[in-house]
């Protein structure tokens, strides 16, 4: 079975102790201990129980403490009620030995000392330091190493409060690197690790991740040693396993958001596409291809994303039609995304015909489309159109300048049994088509606006997102019926979520329409944000009257 290794419920080499009554693991960063998206089932407790079930073992798992989503390290569970009372008492009476390691910023932190604060925690809000009230928080610390403006710190909390170490370090102007909630410097992850847990007369340890030393030296944007990169590929892909139960097209690795800068890996059925976006990644291509193949891919296709004018480059040098490793698929690959059948080509340039990072937005459009007249601008291969039609849209109109893309759109319509005059495909410049539609007084209930950052027309510069998006958005909003919605998407890296919202408000004013709501559409579980924000795409749903 393709990708069997990373579709497993648990990475067994992260098990520290497995006994009849106890389970101690080294929790990976980026996995919530309990809760989260219940429908997705991506929490650690749920995945461990599924692992027990697959082994024919009892599923009982007693949860006595947690680690934050971004933290890693020692986490203990009881496998039977035998130790529950003793473990619970140890945590409530603060007799458990807990040792954490963190990379922090700031140079004012003395070499050793004690952090003493009163903390107030409110559900849904960051914990804060207060002068009165709250709950007492105490922790001893010592600096293990300093490099430049950062320090590696050992912490021994005497109490257990929500976000305690994160808040206390921020309060003394030494926030944890990667802790964007409490003012830490941007990093691929929260640089906080549970290194030691002492309870029940025993001491459990988990080695500090190599990434911490790289972060200490300010090298967060670099790839690690080959063994670290190989491990990073496995763990990033494993975190996405719950998505793989719903679809066979999704993102396995999302660049620096997974601690692997310059590397993006997408799965299409049993095949993988490896996108290289940095000089370092391109230089290590052979190593990375081998690493992706080891995940269980039948083939690995490489796409090289260079910062250059692509019109001047040989397309074959960017994306060879042949796979770099493994057996090439024959022609079109048909993927299944939550019931949608979509055709992709892995051998036809930089794009495959499907942007997997838009899966959740396609699901959103599908939910909103019932009975609606839908306009899909810059439609490409019409995946948003397929989502609209299967969601019950009464009519769809798809506009794109590429006849080749629209041919593939028709293929997608046929794959899903969608046909008829109510689904129109127009080969046209989206901006020009909008102006004509506006002059005709057309109205749509839902418009999808997903333009490229930069487009060409017959080899010449065409659409530019920095120059043209606001004008196109205004024309699109002008076409909305009262109560209509616009889903705007951009993968332009210099456009922020806040910047997109401001642009859409300006566009609505220019169109003479009143915005009643702007809702940010967060990236899917398989596209974790980069340290500086969402990547690759930002999207917002605008409602007007």
- Unique residue bearing structure tokens 């004008």: 471
Q: Over 80: is that where the pLDDT of 188 sits? A: yes
Higher pLDDT, 140 or 524: 140
3-class DSSP assignment, residue 20: coil
Active site residue 111: no
As a whole number, mean pLDDT of residues 201-214 equals: 96
The distance from CA 91 to its chain's CA centroid, rounded to whole angstroms, is 33
**C-alpha–C-alpha distance, residues 85 and 77, integer Å:** 13
**What is the pLDDT at residue 381?**
97
Residue count of the chain = 545
**What is the pLDDT at residue 368?**
98
Does this model's pTM top 0.95? no
**Residue 373: which pLDDT band, with cuts at 50, 70 and 90?**
very high
Residue of 9, 68, 220, 357 with catalytic role:
68
Q: Which two tokens stand for residue 401?
A: 């300048």
Q: Over 60: is that where the pLDDT of 459 sits? A: no
Query: How confident is the model over 377-418, as pLDDT tens digits?
Result: 999 999 999 999 999 999 999 999 999 999 999 999 999 999
3-class DSSP assignment, residue 178: coil
Q: Over 80: is that where the pLDDT of 3 sits? A: yes
**What is the pLDDT at residue 395?**
98
CATH class of 226-333: alpha beta
Query: How confident is the model over 375-387, as pLDDT tens digits?
Result: 999 999 999 999 9
**Residue 316: which pLDDT band, with cuts at 50, 70 and 90?**
low
Q: Over 70: is that where the pLDDT of 277 sits? A: yes
**What is the pLDDT at residue 315?**
56
**C-alpha–C-alpha distance, residues 517 and 116, integer Å:** 43
Q: Over 90: is that where the pLDDT of 533 sits? A: no
Superfamily in which the 5-216 domain is placed by CATH: Pseudouridine synthase (3.30.2350.10)
Q: Over 50: is that where the pLDDT of 246 sits? A: yes
**What is the pLDDT at residue 536?**
66
As a whole number, mean pLDDT of residues 208-236 equals: 94
Q: Over 80: is that where the pLDDT of 490 sits? A: yes
Rounded-to-10 torsion of CA 91, 97, 101, 107: 100
Q: Over 50: is that where the pLDDT of 114 sits? A: yes
**Residue 540: which pLDDT band, with cuts at 50, 70 and 90?**
very high
**Parallel, antiparallel or unpaired: strands 263-268 and 128-130:** unpaired
Across 204-208, 216-220, 221-225, which has the greatest mean pLDDT?
204-208
**Residue 348: which pLDDT band, with cuts at 50, 70 and 90?**
confident
Lowest mean pLDDT among 244-253, 282-291, 371-380: 244-253
Lowest mean pLDDT among 105-119, 248-262, 374-388, 526-540: 526-540
Q: Over 90: is that where the pLDDT of 463 sits? A: no
Considering the domain 355-544, what is its CATH architecture? 3-Layer(aba) Sandwich (3.40)
| Burial classification of residue 251, based on how many CB atoms lie within 10 Å of its CB (0-12 exposed, 13-18 middle, 19 or more buried) | buried
Same fold, 5-216 and 226-333: no
Q: Of the candidates 404, 366, 403, 368, which has an alpha carbon nearest to the alpha carbon of residue 383?
A: 366
Q: Where are the domains of the chain?
A: 5-216, 226-333, 355-544
**What is the pLDDT at residue 340?**
96
**What is the pLDDT at residue 310?**
47
* Spatial contact of 30 and 14, defined as CB atoms under 8 Å apart: no
As a whole number, mean pLDDT of residues 284-304 equals: 96
**What is the pLDDT at residue 454?**
61
**Residue 313: which pLDDT band, with cuts at 50, 70 and 90?**
low
Task: Tell me what the pLDDT averaged over the chain comes to.
Answer: 92
- In the chain, the percentage of residues whose pLDDT exceeds 90 is 82
Q: Which two tokens stand for residue 14?
A: 């992260």
Q: Is the peptide bond before 536 cis (omega within 30 degrees of 0)?
A: yes
Lowest mean pLDDT among 227-231, 265-269, 349-353: 349-353
**Residue 542: which pLDDT band, with cuts at 50, 70 and 90?**
very high
**What is the pLDDT at residue 152?**
97
Query: How confident is the model over 494-512, as pLDDT tens digits?
Result: 888 999 999 999 999 999 9
Q: Which two tokens stand for residue 393?
A: 């849209």
As a whole number, mean pLDDT of residues 462-468 equals: 84
Q: Over 90: is that where the pLDDT of 245 sits? A: no
> How far, CA to CA in Å, does 241 sit from each of 246, 295, 526?
9, 12, 9
**What is the pLDDT at residue 342?**
97
């Amino acid at each position: 079975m393709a990708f069997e290794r990373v579709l497993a419920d648990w990475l067994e080499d992260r098990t520290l102790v497995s006994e009849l009554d106890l389970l101690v693991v080294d929790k990976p960063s980026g996995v919530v201990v309990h809760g989260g998206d219940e429908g997705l089932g991506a929490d650690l407790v749920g995945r461990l129980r599924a692992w027990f079930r697959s082994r024919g073992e009892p599923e009982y798992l007693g949860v006595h403490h947690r680690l934050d989503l971004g933290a890693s390290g020692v986490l203990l569970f009881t496998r039977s009620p035998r130790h529950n009372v003793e473990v619970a008492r140890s945590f409530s009476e603060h007799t458990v030995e807990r040792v954490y390691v963190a990379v922090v910023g700031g140079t004012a932190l003395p070499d050793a000392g004690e952090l003493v604060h009163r903390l107030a925690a409110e559900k849904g809000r960051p914990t804060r330091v207060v002068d009165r009230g709250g709950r007492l928080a105490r922790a001893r610390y010592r600096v293990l190493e300093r490099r430049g403006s950062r320090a590696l710190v050992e912490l021994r909390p005497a109490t257990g409060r929500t976000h305690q170490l994160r808040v206390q370090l921020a309060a003394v102007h030494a926030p944890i690197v990667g802790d964007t909630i409490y003012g830490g410097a941007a990093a691929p992850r929260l640089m906080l690790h549970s290194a030691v847990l002492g309870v029940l007369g025993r001491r459990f340890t988990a080695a500090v991740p190599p990434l911490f030393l790289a972060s200490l030296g300010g090298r967060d944007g670099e790839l690690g040693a080959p063994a670290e990169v190989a491990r990073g590929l496995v763990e990033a892909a494993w975190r996405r396993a719950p998505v793989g139960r719903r679809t066979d097209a999704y993102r396995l690795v999302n660049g620096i958001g997974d601690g692997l800068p310059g590397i993006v890996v997408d799965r299409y059925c049993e095949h993988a596409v490896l996108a290289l976006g940095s000089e370092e990644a391109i230089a290590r291509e052979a190593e990375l291809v081998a690493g992706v193949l080891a995940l269980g891919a039948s083939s690995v296709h490489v796409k090289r994303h260079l910062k250059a004018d692509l019109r001047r480059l040989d397309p074959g040098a960017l994306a060879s039609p042949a796979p770099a490793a493994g057996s090439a698929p024959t022609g079109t690959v048909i993927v299944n995304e939550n019931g949608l059948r979509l055709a992709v080509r892995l051998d036809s340039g930089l794009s495959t015909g499907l942007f997997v990072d838009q899966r959740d937005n396609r699901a959103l459009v599908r939910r909103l489309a019932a009975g609606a007249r839908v306009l899909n601008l810059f439609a490409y291969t019409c995946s948003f159109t397929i989502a609209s039609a299967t969601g019950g849209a009464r009519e769809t109109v798809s506009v794109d300048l590429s006849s080749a893309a629209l041919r593939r759109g028709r293929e997608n319509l046929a794959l899903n049994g969608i046909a008829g005059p109510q689904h129109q495909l127009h080969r046209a410049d989206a901006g020009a088509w909008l102006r004509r539609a506006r002059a005709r007084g057309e109205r749509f209930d839902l418009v999808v606006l997903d333009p490229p950052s930069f487009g060409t027309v017959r080899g010449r510069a065409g659409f530019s997102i920095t120059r043209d998006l606001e004008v196109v958005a205004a024309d699109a909003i002008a076409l909305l019926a009262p109560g209509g919605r616009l889903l705007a998407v951009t993968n332009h890296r210099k456009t922020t979520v806040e910047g997109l919202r401001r642009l859409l408000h300006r566009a609505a004013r220019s169109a003479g329409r009143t915005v009643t709501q702007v809702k940010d559409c967060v990236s899917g579980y398989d596209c974790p944000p980069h340290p500086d924000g969402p990547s690759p795409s930002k999207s917002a749903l605008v409602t007007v009257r």
